[in-house]
Amino acid sequence: MTRIDMARTNKLGYAAVLGLEGYSRKSVEPRLYELIKLRASILNGCGFCVDMHATDGAKRGIPQRTLHAVGAWQHARGLFEQRELAALALTDALTRLGPDTVTDEIWDAAAQHFDDGELGGLVLAICTINVWNRVAIATEMEPPIDDKRPVV
């Protein structure tokens, strides 16, 4: 059980994050969107979001091998397109913020595959999943397990 229901207790703030989520979903292609959402969620240790984005990725037709490899993408490069690798590197850098994380090398590699508008969309999508991860972890959300969503 979650600690609080942010959609109920903090309606305006929650609605603002939902608005950013809606923008991000429209700005990043669906497969790439799920891959970066899954990667950031793995890095942040958010079980609720890892479950959600692995499940959503499978529903979108992303192969299971690819979804499993997101956790170690640097060592499974053959399962990803070059642009996905660049987006995953950017996801790692933006999720693990520090003085030397979003380097020119990482940014320039991404810029080879995405135009400025696409890069901005990626940045916002990565930032959005990091917000969701923090909300889910703070409120102790857990993956739903019920008749509709059994463990199989």
Does residue 14 lie in a domain region? no
Is 111's pLDDT higher than 90? yes
What's the structural domain count of the chain? 1
pLDDT band for position 145 (50/70/90)? confident
Q: Which H, E and C letters describe the chain, residue by residue? A: CCCCCHHHHCHHHHHHHHHHHHHHHHHCCHHHHHHHHHHHHHHHCCHHHHHHHHHHHHHCCCCHHHHHHHHHHHHCHHHCCHHHHHHHHHHHHHHCCCCCCCCHHHHHHHHCCCCHHHHHHHHHHHHHHHHHHHHHHHCCCCCCCCCCCCCC
pLDDT of residue 106: 96
Whether residue 20 lies inside any domain: the answer is no
Q: Is residue 40 part of a domain?
A: yes
Range of the domain at 58: 30-138
CATH number at residue 48: 1.20.1290.10
- Specify the pTM: 0.92
- Residue 54 inside a domain? The answer is yes
Confirm whether 21 is domain-assigned. Answer: no
Which amino acid, 41? S
Question: Does residue 147 surpass a pLDDT of 80?
Answer: no
Q: What percent of the chain has pLDDT over 70?
A: 98
Residues 30-57: pLDDT tens digits? 999 999 999 999 999 999 999 999 999 9
pLDDT tens for 53-81 read: 999 999 999 999 999 999 999 999 999 99
Q: What percent of the chain shows pLDDT beyond 90?
A: 86
Task: Say if 145 falls within a structural domain.
Answer: no
106: in domain: yes
